[in-house]
Amino acid sequence: PHIIHAGDDGLTNALDTVGNVKKSLHCIAISDEMASEYQERYGREFKVFRNGASSSYYPPPGNPNISRNKVLTIRYLGRLYSWLHYDSLRLLGCAIEECRQNDIHWKLELYGTADIPELHSSGILTSNVSYNGRVGQIEGINLLQTADLLTIPLTYDENTLNNYKFSFPTKLSEFLATGKPILLLSSPLTASSMFCKRHNVAKVIDTPSHPEVVSYLTDLWHNPSLGQEQGIQNISICRQFLDMELIRSEFHSLLATV
Contact 29, 6 (CB under 8 A): yes
Listed in sequence order, the residues at least 6 apart from 204 whose beta carbon sits closer than 8 Å to its beta carbon are: 184, 186, 188, 193, 196, 197
pLDDT at 4: 78
Q: How deeply is 75 buried, as exposed, middle or buried, from its count of CB atoms within 10 A (0-12, 13-18, 19+)?
A: buried
Contact 65, 231 (CB under 8 A): no
pLDDT at 14: 85
pLDDT at 65: 55
pLDDT at 162: 83
pTM for this entry: 0.93
Angle at 203 between CA 198 and CA 209, to 5 degrees: 115
Nearest to 54 by CA among 232, 202, 180, 238: 238
pLDDT at 112: 97
Strand 182-185 relative to strand 26-29, pairing? unpaired
Point out the residues of the chain with pLDDT beneath 70.
1, 9, 63-68
pLDDT at 67: 55
pLDDT at 16: 85
29, HSE (Cβ side, Cα atoms, 13 Å):
21
pLDDT at 1: 65
Q: Helix crossing, 191-199 with 170-177: angle to 10°?
A: 30
pLDDT digits (tens, 9 = 90+) for 160-187: 988 789 999 999 999 999 999 999 999 9
Contact 91, 210 (CB under 8 A): yes
Can you tell me the distance from the alpha carbon of 113 to that of 135, in angstroms, rounded to the nearest whole number? Answer: 9
Listed in sequence order, the residues at least 6 apart from 252 whose beta carbon sits closer than 8 Å to its beta carbon are: none
Q: How far is CA 168 from the centre of its chain?
A: 8
